[in-house]
Structure 1
């Protein structure tokens, strides 16, 4: 078959344009993948369990627990964008994580997966279960609550409106922070995170790898979202675990316990259990105790 020179030039230009379009589409696709709000690592076989870490943490916090739990359950270990070296996304964070997790559950055809969340991850567990109660199974909240503000203020009467200025100030403060400043800020108050120096170092390392803007955005969202009324939608059993090992005085225990109880009062099937020796990272301070609590709760009919 014969082609004229004009036809060949036109064909060449079309081929070049096609190549450019393919490159652009590949770039857009790559950017979309990079913008996901979380990554997932799947371990084990059995009934599904989604495990969500807390602020500035990733799935490494669950490694010790997952080693045993994966013998009887299929674990979906989440790492959230912007934390512990994960690429950050722009704009809202936690609402996007919730939406994409619900889509993930549907795509993977997970049948009422249990959710185990630590700190911020516990808040997400409550948000997921109250938004889609027929989709989510049992909830285990590891030292995390439906509303963060009362933990800061030590007052259960705190509202989104009453902490609005503080929430916005925190978001703006972190947005202007450099990673080195974030690492330095984390050194303050590390004693409440975990008992052992080696464990505190793990927490510090994950925090130093986090994106300051993402951290500030997450704290803002935790302070400006109150789920205490919404959790009444939850129709599945909930185990709320509290860590009281960092309290400066045993005399504070009743007040702290009352604060936690107030947050889960609207949940029909909620149980509160405190460990008064463990600090915030219960999976490292009290690993055997935590695993026993998880196994017993998941096994209950």
Structure 2
């Protein structure tokens, strides 16, 4: 009996020791640190050209998420372990004078980190990110009504590959104006772990980070696209970020969700101008 318990303990320890981490981080460069957080399904490499066009040298920490870009999945819940690991990473690395740049879902994580580390955060840039997607996509629907086991989720899980590919292509066309980027975006969804894709999105729809905006003192740059129209986008960002006091909102014309594809030079300019002012103030 003791031998059996000993073996079971070894097996459990082995699983805990070698379990898939919720994030992978690539650290490069010297200078003040910047954490780059990609959006849902996006690999960390989506930031490569942005980093290459920074006007000042920084220590960059580029994040990728479990279940995407060939990384092993972690199961459910998916979002919460990612947030927790990022919080622990900032503590372990003893990061200070830190800038966080997040796109889409990465912006949600950036908000959480900025609220948790007020004094350590010197800069915050949120790109095409909303603190409560559900309010825009499913107005009036409470988070409690969203479950992993639902007819829609089960349909997505059981969808044949060719049908899922078509869905991914259709969604990608609504995210960029660049035809040569459509297949790249769709490919990120297709190669994703299907359960991570389906259940992870449920996690995101449950989020409402608008109350946490009250806890953020960092001067924040919010960058959005004018798709489907400038007026609608401005109204959405004004409403969603009403609780964030120290903010500037800038909108990129002729761009959809992936501003780094549709208006890269505009994006680089906005980021660099913000970072230079941040350096001057500190």
- Identify the TM-score tier after normalising by the shorter chain: 0.7 to 0.9
> Matches of 2:170 and 2:266 in 1, distance apart?
28
Instruction: Give the equivalent residue in structure 2 for 1:53.
Output: 38
When the two structures are aligned, how many residues end up with a matched partner?
274
> Matches of 2:152 and 2:122 in 1, distance apart?
34
Deviation at 1:181, TM superposition (A): 4.6
> Matches of 1:207 and 1:181 in 2, distance apart?
13
The structure-2 alpha-carbon separation of the partners of 1:56 and 1:182, relative to structure 1 and needing over 3 Å to count, comes to: farther
Indicate whether 1:212 and 2:191 are aligned: no
Give unmatched runs, 5+ long, in structure 1: 1-13
> Matches of 1:70 and 1:182 in 2, distance apart?
40
> Matches of 2:108 and 2:249 in 1, distance apart?
15
SS in structure 2 of the partner of residue 210 of structure 1: coil
Deviation at 1:272, TM superposition (A): 0.6
> Matches of 1:173 and 1:226 in 2, distance apart?
25
Q: CA RMSD in A?
A: 2.7
Whether the 8 Å CA contact 2:172–2:183 is kept in 1: the answer is no
Whether the 8 Å CA contact 1:174–1:215 is kept in 2: the answer is no
Instruction: Give the equivalent residue in structure 2 for 1:128.
Output: 113
Deviation at 1:170, TM superposition (A): 4.4
Indicate whether 1:196 and 2:173 are aligned: no
Instruction: Give the equivalent residue in structure 1 for 2:88.
Output: 103
Using the TM superposition, name which of 172-181 and 21-30 deviates more: 21-30
**Which TM-score applies when normalising by structure 1?**
0.82
Whether the 8 Å CA contact 1:45–1:71 is kept in 2: the answer is no
> Matches of 1:83 and 1:58 in 2, distance apart?
7
Whether the 8 Å CA contact 1:49–1:73 is kept in 2: the answer is yes
Deviation at 1:30, TM superposition (A): 5.0
Which runs of structure 2 are paired with 1:1-301 in the superposition (5 Å)? 24=11, 27-28=14-15, 31-32=18-19, 34=20, 36-69=21-54, 72-153=57-138, 158-159=139-140, 161=142, 164-165=145-146, 168-177=150-159, 181-244=163-226, 246-247=227-228, 252-300=229-277, 301=281
Give unmatched runs, 5+ long, in structure 2: none
Q: Which string of whole-angstrom CA distances, capped at 9 and with x for unpartnered residues, describes residues 29-78 of structure 1?
A: 5532x2x1110111221110000111111112111111223851111000
The higher radius of gyration belongs to 1
SS in structure 1 of the partner of residue 74 of structure 2: coil
Using the TM superposition, name which of 77-86 and 173-182 deviates more: 173-182
> Matches of 1:124 and 1:160 in 2, distance apart?
22
